[in-house]
């Protein structure tokens, strides 16, 4: 293999097996650049080596010494495999080391070996010995990776921070070959390190302050790339032409008369913002940012009505078939009684004859609104006159998928995106900076408030009793399994195990169904639940979006403290959709004061925007939408907690593009911006 460079796949550069390549891919790490840019998110501080005499229980420490005893045994009570050793330092002080269920450790250690260990110090419960449990350890002769500052990397099942650090160490010499997207004049003006120095100090700092400065530099660069990408995207859209859709008062009057409910002030404001965009020859590019149940679909339907009046078609793309079918029902109810138009559905599971009929209707123009999933971007779909493209839960679709939808028209269609995750303005500007924003921050009247309770572990039986009582009344319930980050496969296994436990031990007399991300027919299972075929749906957070079951009145979330507040709020939005009183039960695994305080905040407010803002403050912005799925690092997300910094970065991007509209003088920034538009779901 030729010498590796920044774009070399990690598998080749590190000579990795298929399993490790898959693990890194799950973390979004594919190339040498990806790994070098993936700085540690934190550090374990063990300090310089000290003697045993200087150790204090409850504090982390590093100790160097000689092993004077090593042994392995099983604990009499729980049958755990224990590796025990005694380390003696130069001053004669002795420290006990204990590893639980790691029998391989005993095979690697031997008496007389010089060892460096790091860990939290504790006092033994059985005697006066000081000990370290499951300490980091390495031979003194080995390159020092234990003690001092030890990096904490984002991980997945099968990886450790030690392995990640070892791979980074192998590739750090390539840091000098990384292109720097930040122009020299910007670096000088802002006092920023070059990219190679920031990468080296970010992975191997001499102090925490050095690491923080490296992270700030990487976060700044990333935001600059994003803002440059957005400005380029906006400029390209402004150079394109769409068919203007004129405003007609009689259309909106007929639409409102048919609704059967009053639009909120926020909905009316969003509709007017959309209508103003539609009248322009420049394609609309707008995001509707609203809470669960705030009425975004009605805004999209009002836009579709105006497009129909101009002789143009609307395409609505949803991430799942069940959500597409819900949109079909709503668009038909909002539009067909008021206007002479047809709303059709195109999903992959349609019978051949029905699919052919829908495709012909779309191509001939007799179908005015076409709703579907990824089937909308398949090659055999032709639209007679597409004027408006709507994408729901738009962060779930990549740039290429949205572009294929837009290409279904010879002219550029107007584009409307919707998201049900309330996004604070700062985060929206960073993740969707090329889209104009409409915020729906009011809820329609008549929504049933959801009573939210925090449930301690000892109250679990009472929670199960409430589920039974509601089902006895003819209602249904969700049980959400704890969030598991490792992989969908691990989450699916955990959900299956919990489903079996609940079915056998807790609700043997009820009808239970199971859904998780790996299930091939998950849409069918959720549709059957919505139709009343089961009493309890046991699920992973895959049901977070797109399940409308008015009869479901209980949402029981196990391990609720593992979720972000915004995600818990999304899950809570699956109940309270009918006329019945509804409950959201937050089962906390960690009964600590900080954990319960977070969950109590959810119990005290139904304002999704406030909760999203609090998520940014408490857990970091990356927790709100998942920084990985947006291709945005923790460093950039942290920078968003400083709104003035985002404003500063936007101004810098505007300055650079004003001086050099095609960024010809700064090709590294242009390449990075183009890479953003290709790889992330921000446009």
d(CA 566, CA 548) in angstroms, rounded, equals 19
What is the residue-wise DSSP string for 509-557? TS-EEEE-TT-TTHHHHHHHHHTTS-SEEEE-GGGGSS---TTEEEEEE
Can you give the pLDDT at residue 253?
Answer: 97
Tokens at 84, concatenated = 């025990």
How many helices (H) and strands (E) would you count in the chain? 25, 21
Among 383, 434, 366, 389, which Cα is nearest to 242's? 389
Among 135, 82, 183, which Cα is nearest to 664's? 183
Between residues 345 and 154, the one the model is more confident about: 345
Tokens 């080596």 -> residue: 49
Tokens 């301690």 -> residue: 456
Residues 33-60 have pLDDT tens digits of 999 999 998 898 898 899 999 999 999 9
d(CA 396, CA 377) in angstroms, rounded, equals 15
Tokens at 546, concatenated = 């797109």
Domain layout of the chain by residue ranges: 1-41+161-177, 44-152, 249-279+294-339+372-419, 450-605
- Given a cut of 70, whether residue 77 has pLDDT beyond it is no
Can you give the pLDDT at residue 121?
Answer: 94
Mean model confidence pLDDT for the chain:
87
d(CA 304, CA 340) in angstroms, rounded, equals 13
d(CA 419, CA 294) in angstroms, rounded, equals 11
Distances in Å between the Cα of 269 and the Cα atoms of 90, 263, 273, 335, 417 are 74, 10, 6, 20, 16
User: Which segment of 332-341, 396-405, 436-445 scores lowest on mean pLDDT?
Assistant: 396-405
Cα four-point dihedral sign 625, 626, 631, 633: positive
d(CA 116, CA 140) in angstroms, rounded, equals 6
* DSSP-derived 3-state class of residue 335: helix
User: What is the strand order of the sheet 313-317 is part of?
Assistant: 343-346, 369-372, 313-317, 386-392, 414-419, 285-290, 436-440
Strands 369-372 and 130-133: unpaired
Q: Over the range 481-518, which residues count as b (16 or more CB within 10 Å of their CB) and which as e?
A: bbbbeebeeebbebbbebbeebbeebbeebebbbbbeb
- Given a cut of 80, whether residue 626 has pLDDT beyond it is no
pLDDT bin (cut points 50, 70, 90) of residue 625 is very low
d(CA 574, CA 555) in angstroms, rounded, equals 8
Can you give the pLDDT at residue 424?
Answer: 73
The dotted CATH code for 44-152 is 2.40.50.140
Tokens at 131, concatenated = 């000990």
pLDDT bin (cut points 50, 70, 90) of residue 303 is very high
Q: Average pLDDT in the 204-233 region?
A: 91
Can you give the pLDDT at residue 412?
Answer: 87
Cα four-point dihedral sign 485, 486, 488, 494: negative
266 phi and psi angles, rounded to 5 deg = -65, -40
What is the residue-wise DSSP string for 132-196? EES-EEEETTS---SSEEEEE----TT--HHHHHHHHHHHGGGGGGS---S-HHHHHHHTPPPHH
Per 3-state DSSP, what percentage of the chain is helix, strand, and coil (rounded to 5)?
A: 45, 20, 35
Strand locations in 540-669 (E): 552-557, 582-587
Residues 572-597 have pLDDT tens digits of 988 988 888 999 999 987 767 777 88
If 0-12 CB within 10 Å is exposed, 13-18 middle and 19+ buried, where does residue 72 land? middle
d(CA 390, CA 376) in angstroms, rounded, equals 11
HSE of 183, CA atoms in CB hemisphere, 13 A: 20
Does the 1-41+161-177 domain belong in CATH 1.10.150? Answer: yes
Among 620, 636, 671, which Cα is nearest to 217's? 636
CATH of 450-605, one of 1.10.274.10, 3.90.1720.10, 3.40.50.300, 3.60.130.10: 3.40.50.300
- Given a cut of 90, whether residue 226 has pLDDT beyond it is no
Tokens 């954990």 -> residue: 595
If 0-12 CB within 10 Å is exposed, 13-18 middle and 19+ buried, where does residue 562 land? middle
Among 146, 148, 180, which Cα is nearest to 165's? 146
- Given a cut of 70, whether residue 22 has pLDDT beyond it is yes
Can you give the pLDDT at residue 627?
Answer: 40
Can you give the pLDDT at residue 680?
Answer: 44
Among 595, 574, 594, which Cα is nearest to 583's? 574
Angle at CA 188, nearest 5°, toward 210 and 429?
A: 80
- Given a cut of 50, whether residue 302 has pLDDT beyond it is yes
- How many whole angstroms from its chain centre is CA 510? 33
Distances in Å between the Cα of 592 and the Cα atoms of 44, 419, 452, 589 are 22, 33, 19, 9
Do 553 and 527 meet the contact criterion of CB atoms below 8 Å apart?
Answer: no
143 phi and psi angles, rounded to 5 deg = -55, 140
If 0-12 CB within 10 Å is exposed, 13-18 middle and 19+ buried, where does residue 128 land? exposed
Contacts of 646 (CB under 8 A, 6+ apart): 223, 426, 429, 430, 639, 640
Radius of gyration of the chain (CA): 28
Measured distance between the N- and C-terminal CA atoms of the chain, rounded to whole angstroms: 36
Do 295 and 380 meet the contact criterion of CB atoms below 8 Å apart?
Answer: no
Range 249-279+294-339+372-419: architecture per CATH: 3-Layer(aba) Sandwich (3.40)
Among 460, 499, 466, which Cα is nearest to 589's? 460
Residues 491-521 have pLDDT tens digits of 778 888 899 999 999 999 999 999 887 777 8
Are domains 249-279+294-339+372-419 and 450-605 of this chain identical in fold?
A: yes
User: Which segment of 61-65, 99-103, 413-417, 489-493 scores lowest on mean pLDDT?
Assistant: 489-493
Tokens at 144, concatenated = 């020092």
Tell me which H or E stretch contains 81: strand 81-88
Q: Average pLDDT in the 75-98 region?
A: 88
d(CA 483, CA 490) in angstroms, rounded, equals 10
d(CA 642, CA 186) in angstroms, rounded, equals 19
- Given a cut of 60, whether residue 564 has pLDDT beyond it is yes
Contacts 24+ apart (CB under 8 A), 345-351: 345/370, 345/371, 345/372, 346/370, 346/371, 346/372, 346/373, 346/375, 346/376, 346/381, 347/321, 347/372, 347/373, 347/375, 348/321, 348/373, 348/374, 348/375, 349/321
If 0-12 CB within 10 Å is exposed, 13-18 middle and 19+ buried, where does residue 594 land? exposed
Query: Which range is most confident: 177-191, 417-431, 614-628, 634-648?
Result: 177-191
d(CA 70, CA 87) in angstroms, rounded, equals 9
Residues 319-361 have pLDDT tens digits of 888 889 889 999 999 999 999 999 999 998 899 999 999 999 9
Q: Average pLDDT in the 407-433 region?
A: 79
What is the four-CA torsion angle of 430, 433, 436, 438, rounded to 10 degrees? -10
- Given a cut of 80, whether residue 374 has pLDDT beyond it is yes
- Given a cut of 90, whether residue 80 has pLDDT beyond it is no
């Amino acid at each position: 293999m030729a010498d590796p460079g920044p774009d070399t796949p990690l598998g080749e550069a590190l000579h990795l097996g298929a399993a490790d390549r898959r693990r890194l891919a799950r973390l979004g790490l594919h190339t040498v650049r990806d790994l070098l840019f993936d700085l540690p998110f934190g550090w374990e501080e063990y300090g310089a080596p000290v003697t045993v005499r200087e150790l204090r229980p409850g504090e982390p420490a590093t100790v160097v010494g000689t092993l004077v005893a090593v042994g392995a045994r099983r604990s009499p009570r729980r049958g755990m495999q224990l590796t025990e050793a005694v380390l003696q330092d130069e001053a004669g002080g002795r420290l006990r080391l204990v590893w639980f269920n790691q029998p391989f450790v005993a095979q690697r250690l031997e008496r007389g070996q010089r060892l460096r260990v790091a860990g939290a110090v504790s006092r033994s419960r059985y005697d006066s010995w000081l000990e370290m449990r499951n300490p980091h350890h390495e031979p003194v002769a080995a390159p020092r990776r234990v003690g001092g500052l030890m990096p904490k990397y984002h991980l997945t099942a099968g990886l450790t921070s030690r392995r990640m650090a070892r791979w980074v160490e192998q590739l750090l010499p390539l840091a000098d070959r990384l292109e720097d997207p930040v122009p020299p004049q910007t670096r000088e003006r802002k006092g920023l390190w070059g990219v190679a120095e920031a990468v080296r100090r970010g992975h191997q700092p001499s102090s925490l302050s050095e690491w923080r400065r490296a992270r700030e530099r990487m976060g700044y660069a990333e935001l600059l790339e994003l803002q440059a990408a957005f400005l380029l995207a906006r400029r390209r859209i402004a150079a394109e032409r769409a068919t203007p859709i004129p405003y007609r008062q009689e259309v909106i009057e007929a639409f409102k008369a048919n609704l059967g409910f009053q639009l909120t002030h926020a909905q009316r404001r969003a509709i007017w913002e959309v209508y103003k965009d539609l009248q322009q020859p420049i394609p609309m590019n707008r995001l509707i940012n609203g809470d669960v149940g705030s009425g975004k679909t009605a805004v999209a339907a009002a836009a579709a009505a105006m497009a129909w009046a101009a002789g143009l078609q609307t395409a609505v793309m949803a991430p799942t078939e069940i959500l597409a079918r819900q949109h079909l029902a709503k668009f038909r109810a909002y539009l067909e009684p008021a206007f002479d138009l047809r709303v059709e559905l195109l999903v992959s599971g349609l019978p051949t004859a029905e699919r052919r009929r829908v495709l012909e209707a779309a191509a001939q123009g007799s179908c005015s609104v076409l709703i579907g999933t990824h089937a909308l971007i398949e090659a055999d779909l032709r639209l007679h006159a597409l004027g408006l493209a709507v994408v729901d839960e738009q962060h779930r679709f990549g740039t290429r998928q949205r572009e294929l939808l837009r290409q279904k028209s010879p002219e550029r269609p107007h584009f409307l995106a919707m998201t049900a995750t309330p996004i604070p303005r700062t985060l929206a500007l960073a993740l969707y900076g090329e889209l104009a924003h409409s915020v729906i921050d009011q809820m329609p009247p008549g929504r049933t408030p959801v009573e939210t309770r925090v449930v301690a572990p000892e109250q679990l039986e009472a929670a199960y009793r409430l589920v039974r009582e509601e089902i006895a009344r003819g209602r249904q319930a969700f049980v959400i399994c704890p969030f598991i980050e490792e992989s969908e496969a691990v989450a699916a296994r955990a959900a299956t195990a919990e489903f079996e436990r609940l079915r056998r031990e807790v609700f043997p007399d009820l009808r239970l169904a199971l859904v998780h991300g790996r299930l091939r027919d998950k849409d069918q299972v959720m549709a059957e639940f919505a139709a009343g075929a089961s009493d309890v749906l046991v699920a992973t957070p895959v049901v977070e979006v797109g399940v409308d079951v008015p009869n479901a009145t209980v949402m029981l979330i196990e391990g609720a403290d593992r979720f972000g507040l915004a995600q818990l709020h999304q899950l809570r939005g699956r109940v309270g959709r009918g006329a019945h009183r509804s409950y959201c039960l937050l089962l906390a695994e960690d009964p600590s004061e900080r954990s319960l305080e977070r969950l109590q905040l959810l119990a005290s407010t139904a304002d999704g925007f406030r909760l999203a803002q609090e998520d940014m403050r408490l857990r970091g912005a990356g927790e709100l939408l998942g920084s990985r799925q947006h291709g945005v690092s923790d460093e950039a997300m942290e920078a968003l907690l400083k709104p003035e910094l985002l404003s500063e970065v936007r101004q810098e991007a505007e300055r650079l593009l004003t001086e050099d509209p095609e960024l010809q003088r700064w090709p590294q920034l242009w390449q990075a911006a183009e890479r953003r538009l290709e790889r992330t779901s921000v446009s």
